[in-house]
Amino acid sequence: MIAIQLRPSVKEDISNFYAYQLDEEANYLAAFTAKDPTDKTAYLEKYTKLLYNPTVNMQTILVNNAVAGTVTKFEIDNEAEIAFWIDKPFWGQGVATKALKLFLNLETKRPIFGHAAFDNFGSQKVLEKCGFVKIGTSKGFANARQAEIEEFIYKLDK
């Protein structure tokens, strides 16, 4: 049995998160990623700043006490958005769903929105299992695919 916990992210976690997003398949599925995911300096600077932003709630996902990913609430135009990233060895084990459920007990700002690429069925299932409802679609340029793609917009009210 796997034990899944959350704890506030610390600067040392960010190098792990950087390594996770270098995986080509994970980057492709996430779609809306950094222009250059190999730019470690830019990645570390961006996410270190987020640690100290009072509108951001960044939690590290631990699986049996090992860092397995992150789940984060951030705000755009005073609207709460959710993002999560799980290291590939933990895919398909319910880690993202359990971590997001734990996170939603900690982070109470509502409504909260989530986005998933049209073909990222794993992230879509996680959002739906956590009570998010698909409310629409949008299109945007996906750096990881070098193309404009459709994404689904999800919302959680309670």
pTM for the structure as a whole: 0.91
Helix (H, G, I), strand (E, B) or coil at 112: strand
Cα–Cα dist 46/50, whole Å = 7
Query: Could you read off the pLDDT of 5-58 as tens digits, one per residue?
Result: 999 999 999 999 998 888 888 877 887 877 888 899 998 999 999 999 999 999
**What was the pLDDT predicted at 38?**
87
Return the closest-CA partner of residue 25 out of 94, 85, 74, 70. Answer: 85
Contacts of 142 (CB under 8 A, 6+ apart): 31, 32, 33, 117, 148, 149
**What was the pLDDT predicted at 24?**
84
Only one residue has tokens 């599925």, namely 29
Q: How many CA atoms lie within 13 A of 156 on its CB side?
A: 25
**What was the pLDDT predicted at 21?**
85
Structure tokens belonging to residue 96: 């993202």
Query: Could you read off the pLDDT of 76-100 as tens digits, one per residue?
Result: 999 999 999 999 999 999 999 999 9
The domains located in the chain, with CATH, are 4-156 (3.40.630.30)
**Residue 42, exposed/middle/buried by CB under 10 A (0-12, 13-18, 19+)?**
middle
